[in-house]
Amino acid sequence: MAKMSARSSSFSHRTVFVWSDEYLKYSFPGDHPFKSLRESMLRKILETKGAFHEIDMREPEVVDESVLETVHSRGYIEFVKRMSIRGEGYLDDFDTPAFPGIFEAALIRVSGTVTALKLLKQYDHAVNIGGGFHHAKRDAASGFCVFNDVALAAKLAEKEYGRVAVIDVDGHHGDGTQFLLYDDPNVLKVSLHMYHTNFFPGTGNYDEIGVGEGEGYTLNVPLPPGTGDDLYLKAFDEVVVPKVRQFKPNLIMFVVGGDSHFDDPLVELRLTTLGYLEIAKRVHSLAHEFAGGKLLMTGAGGYNYDATARSWAAVIAEIAQLDPVEFEDVHDCCMMASSPLAKEKVLKVIEELKNIHGL
C-alpha cells in the first residue's frame, strides 16, 4: 500500500485523479498510434500500487459545449459534431480520423481538465490523464487532438489565478496552445520538444516568443533527435526553471506526453522514466514555491503504451508523494545520455534562449 514518503515536506500534497471509463472511447481505430490503452494501463499500475488509498478519484463534470467557444469557433464545433455523426473521414489532413461519437469522446476529456481545474479549490494537485490535446487549433483538429483542453483550461484559470504557467514536456511542440494564447501575457507557454526537419508540427523554434502583449511569454526549447536525460535536464534547469521563477505563476499546468521517452516510436528523444521523475520533481517544487502548490497535470501523446503508462505513474507518484519504493519497478534501469551529435546543438539552444529571454 502506498503511503506518504519520509521525504515529503511540510507542504500538503492532496491529489485528485479525474477519471471516467468514457475516456476509453477516445481511441482511434485500426493501426492508428493513439490508443486509450495507455490510460487503462496507468490506472492498473496505480491500482496495483494502492495509490487510490492516497489519491481521490472523481468523475468529470461534462461541460456545456458552449464552453468550447473559449478557444474554438462555433463553426469548428459544429463541424466536429457533423463528423461525429457521420463517423468516418478525417477532421484534418489524415492525422485525426473521425469515428462515431468522437464529439462526445473529445468533450468528456476536455471536461476532465476543466473539472480538475475546479477541484484545485479543494486539492493541491489535480490530474486529468485524459487531457493534453495541445495541437488543436481554433478552427481545426490537428495531430490526434480535437479540442484544446490545455489552452481552454489556461484561459479559464487566468480569471481566477491571474498568472498561469503551462509546462509542456510532450515530444512534439505544443503549437495549438501556443498560438491560441500567443498574445496573452497572463499565460506563460513553455514547451520542450524535438525539433527537426520535417518533424511534426514544424513549429517551436527558440525564436518563437509570442506577439503583442504576449511577447516574451512563450518559451520554446527545441531539442535535436538524440537528446537524453542529461541535456534535457540541463536545459530545464538553466532555462525553464529561471523563466518560471521570473514569471511567478499562481498555477502551473503540466502537460506530460509520454512520447519524449526513448522507446517512443514517433519521437527520437531519449528521456527515461527517471528523467520524467526528475522533471516532475522540478515542476512540483516550482508549484509549491510560487503557486501555493496548485498544479494541474494532464497527459498528452505517448505511443509506446507501456513506457507512457510507466512515465505517468512516476510523475504522479512524485506529485502525490507516494512511497517511491513502491514505484521502483515502474522505472527504466538507468538514465540515458544524449548522442554526441545532440550535445553541441542543445548547448547552442540554451545559449540562444538565455540571450533572448534575459536569463
From the CB of 48, what's the least distance to Zn ion, in Å? 23
From the CB of 183, what's the least distance to Zn ion, in Å? 24
What size, in residues, is the chain? 359
How far apart CA 178 and CA 214 sit, in angstroms, is 10
How far apart CA 323 and CA 280 sit, in angstroms, is 15
Active site residue 135: yes
Q: Is 258 in the site for Zn ion (CB under 5 A)?
A: no
Q: Is 210 left (phi over 0), alpha (psi -120 to 50) or beta?
A: left
Rounded to 5 degrees, what angle do the CA atoms 77, 79, 85 make? 105
Q: Is 301 in the site for Zn ion (CB under 5 A)?
A: yes
Q: Which stretch binds Zn ion (CB under 5 A): 54-62, 182-190, 250-258, 275-283?
A: 250-258
What is the number of other CB atoms lying within 10 angstroms of the CB of residue 66? Answer: 9
From 72, 125, 134, 135, active-site residue: 135
Peptide bond into 201 cis (omega under 30): yes
Single-letter residue type at 205: N
Q: Measured at CB, which residue is nearest to Zn ion?
A: 301
- When the beta carbons of 204 and 257 are compared against Zn ion, the nearer one is 257
Burial 167-204 (b: 16+ CB within 10 A, else e): bbbbbbbbbbbbbbbbebebbbbbbbbbbbeebbbebb
Q: Is 257 in the site for Zn ion (CB under 5 A)?
A: yes
Binding map of Zn ion across residues 166-195, x = CB under 5 A, - = no contact: ----xxx-----------------------
From the CB of 99, what's the least distance to Zn ion, in Å? 20
Name the DSSP class of 96.
Answer: S
- When the beta carbons of 259 and 278 are compared against Zn ion, the nearer one is 259
Q: Which stretch binds Zn ion (CB under 5 A): 56-64, 65-73, 78-86, 301-309?
A: 301-309
From the CB of 194, what's the least distance to Zn ion, in Å? 9
Q: Is 259 in the site for Zn ion (CB under 5 A)?
A: yes
Which residues are the active-site residues?
135
Residues in contact with Zn ion by the rule CB under 5 A: 13, 170-172, 257, 259, 301
